[in-house]
Amino acid sequence: MVTIFRHALARSWGQILAWGLSLALLGAFLVPFYDTVASQKEQLMGLLQSYPPELWAFFGDASTMFTPEGYLTIEFFSYMPLIVGIYAILLGSGLLAGDEENGTLDLILAHPVSRAALFFGRLLAFAVATAAILFIVWLGFVIVMNWSTLNVDWDKMALPFLSLLAVLLLFGTLALLLSMLLPSRRAAAMVAGILLVASFFITSLARVDKNLDTVARFSPLNYYQSGEAIKGLNGGWFLGLLACSLVCTILAWWCFGRRDIRVGGEGSWRWSWLPLPARLRQSKAS
Amino acid sequence: MSEQTVIMTQGLVKFYGNFQALYGLNLEVRRGEIFGFLGPNGAGKTTTIRCLLDLIHPNRGTVRVLGLNPQANPVAVRARTGYLPGELHLEPNLTVEGALRYFNALRGNKGDWDFVRQLAGRFDLDLKSPIKNLSHGNKQKVGVVQALMHRPELLLLDEPTLGLDPLMQQEVLRLLKEARAGGATVFFSSHIMSEVEAVAERVGIIRHGELVEVAETATLINRALRRIKVRFKQPVDSNVLAKVPGVSLLSPGDGKSMLLQVEGEVDGLIKTLAGFPVSDFETERPSLEEIFLAYYEADRKEVK
């Protein structure tokens, strides 16, 4: 499992650095900008209040723009689940199905590697890679905050990243589960992506339309705290997201342990691969 | 299952959705032999090999590899086995050495790296080359090296010479013989008859997911029909020859030459011919390919 983990992580270094440094640079740009925003509070307040509430539903509360947590929510954390979520979904859906479809999994599993070692080694690499990206971004924020009036303690600054990590793990493992159920990696990524976007819209719109509250309860992003986590992490929400991720992981593992490994170049199974009792299959064949 | 049996399948059945790939396959491969698994594309060769490594799960039947059940002990089976898939895909971003070191790490670094260099030298394979720059044939060489590098007890090779030039094909066949000489059992699938005939002591012919023949290669060839053309110094009675068991007359000719077909041993015919003034004797020995095709010809006739 250690070899699988190290190899999978080594393959992700480029992505970790690209995503981590890009978003850290965005943070490095946003933090000093807070000083400018704060100095023009009166003029900006008037401008912001002229925007419709439907727009603010997606980014947070305009009245909190001049607090550190409000500013970070509006400018950064509100849309991060969508941006980094795409990375998590692509990585999660390709964790096993990607190599299976390009044919390399066949040879790896012909070595003395159990399916459990392969599955959990790669899953651990995915979790570490995702955490590493968020760590680099967090570090970027914390370093630049030394030269800004946007002064948040390093440990409190870590809390919204923890909330974001839980969301990313959930969507990554959901994509992994879907890749075990659906005919191809692409289909899994597409469905997981649609669920992510739908969750974002439902959660956001529920802030202005109370009729959506019931639906929003089932939306994972409803339990994402965004920059508000700086004031304190909601442990129940955080653990709830992790628990859902664990359920997806267990189901994905169950599917992977019982399915056939596809032959390289085969692309994807037809829908008919879905588990049917052997007798039913035989009667169909005859 | 005796200790001399390395691979054993009984009643192996495999479905892919509604398509049945294996129909109760019974197979036995003995320790220390080179066993050629013959069949055209889609006959079930790859499916059988993948069941042996637990890459796919059979729907019914028993599988034992090296005395172990691959479904219960997949890691133990794979640790003692070298495998070359029929459709070889390698990570393009690694170098040849990087890929081989990764495979070696998966085996707990038990591979013999001097042996790897030796194999690479025999295949004229540059260890520093990136996989993405390799031709299909060179990738196949990497596949063969990774299968052999830890000197496994059992080699499961799916079309090992696929994409290799004739010289390298010969090198692979030499390596298989060397592996066998070193105590390994070799089970390889192919649809190239000449290479099976060249190295395999026994062959199994698979047709539509069923094993239709298992025999020693030489026996299979000797047992088959062969044509014999005989010329005599003076006309002879062809009926005398036609009465020899296993002999039939294909063309009586003019009595001075005739074409005969012999099934099985030719001993009886030769002893009969000894009583005649024979001037020339030609025999056409069938290749394994002809024998193999005969099974499929029979199948086509059944379909018609």
A131-140, B62-71, B289-298: lowest mean pLDDT where? B289-298
Confidence of residue B286 (pLDDT cuts 50, 70, 90): low
Could you tell me if B89 lies within 8 Å of chain A, comparing CB atoms? yes
Could you tell me if B56 lies within 8 Å of chain A, comparing CB atoms? yes
Q: Which two tokens stand for residue A283?
A: 């009667």
The predicted-structure confidence for B100-131, as pLDDT tens digits, reads as follows 999 999 998 887 888 999 999 998 888 899 99
H or E element that contains B122: helix B113-122
How many CA atoms, within 13 angstroms, populate the side-chain half-sphere of residue B205?
20
Could you tell me if B132 lies within 8 Å of chain A, comparing CB atoms? no
The pTM is what?
0.79
- ipTM value for the complex: 0.77
Distance CA A67, CA B148 (A): 65
**What pLDDT score does A8 carry?**
86
**What pLDDT score does A55 carry?**
67
> Comparing C-alpha atoms, which of A222, A237, A248 is closest to residue A81?
A222
Q: Which two tokens stand for residue A44?
A: 């900006």
What's the gap in Å between the CA of B19 and the closest CA on chain A? 6
At residue B62, what are phi and psi to the nearest 5 degrees?
Answer: -115, 140
Chain B: residue whose CA lies nearest to A275: B17
Q: From the list B19, B20, B106, which residue is nearest A112 (CB)?
A: B106
What's the gap in Å between the CA of B270 and the closest CA on chain A? 51
CA B260 to chain centre: 30
**What pLDDT score does A266 carry?**
47
At residue A270, what are phi and psi to the nearest 5 degrees?
Answer: -75, 165
CB contact under 8 A, B15 and A112: no
Residues in chain B within 8 Å Cβ distance of A3 = 102, 105-106
Residue B303 confidence (pLDDT) above 60: no
CB of B62 closer than 8 Å to CB of B231: no
The predicted-structure confidence for A120-153, as pLDDT tens digits, reads as follows 999 999 999 999 999 999 999 888 888 877 888 8
- Could you tell me the residue ranges of all domains in chain B? 5-220, 225-285
Q: Which of A105, A260, A274, A284 to mutate to test the interface with B (most CBs of B within 10 A)?
A: A260
DSSP string, A143-173: HHHTTSS----HHHHHHHHHHHHHHHHHHHH
Q: Which of A12, A107, A271 to mutate to test the interface with B (most CBs of B within 10 A)?
A: A107
Q: Which alpha helices (H) appear in chain A, and where do they start and end?
A: 2-39, 41-49, 53-59, 68-72, 80-94, 97-102, 104-108, 115-145, 154-181, 185-205, 213-216, 235-258, 278-285
Chain B: residue whose CA lies nearest to A258: B57
Q: Quick one: DSSP state of residue B95?
A: B
CB of B40 closer than 8 Å to CB of B191: yes
User: In the block, which residue shows the tokens 């090198």?
Assistant: B171
Residues in chain A within 8 Å Cβ distance of B18 = 272, 281, 284-285
Q: How far apart are the first and last CA of chain A?
A: 42
What's the gap in Å between the CA of A113 and the closest CA on chain B? 6
CB contact under 8 A, B76 and A263: no
**What pLDDT score does A280 carry?**
46
Could you tell me if B270 lies within 8 Å of chain A, comparing CB atoms? no
Category of B113 on φ-ψ map: left (φ > 0), alpha (ψ -120 to 50) or beta: alpha
Residues in chain B: 304
Q: Quick one: DSSP state of residue A73?
A: I
A85-99, B80-94, B179-193, B222-236: lowest mean pLDDT where? B222-236
Specify the CATH architecture of the domain B225-285: 2-Layer Sandwich (3.30)
Most confident of A4-8, A260-264, B297-301: A4-8
Residues in chain A within 8 Å Cβ distance of B58 = none
The CATH number of domain B5-220 is 3.40.50.300? yes
Distance CA A88, CA A65 (A): 28
Most confident of A48-62, A166-180, B184-198, B216-230: A166-180
Residues in chain B within 8 Å Cβ distance of A110 = 53, 55, 78, 81, 83, 85
**What pLDDT score does A286 carry?**
30
Residues in chain A within 8 Å Cβ distance of B91 = 104
Q: From the list A7, A11, A110, which residue is nearest B83 (CB)?
A: A110
CB of B204 closer than 8 Å to CB of B214: yes
Residue A78 confidence (pLDDT) above 70: yes
CB contact under 8 A, A103 and B17: no
**What pLDDT score does A125 carry?**
95
Residues in chain A within 8 Å Cβ distance of B48 = none
Residue B244 confidence (pLDDT) above 80: yes
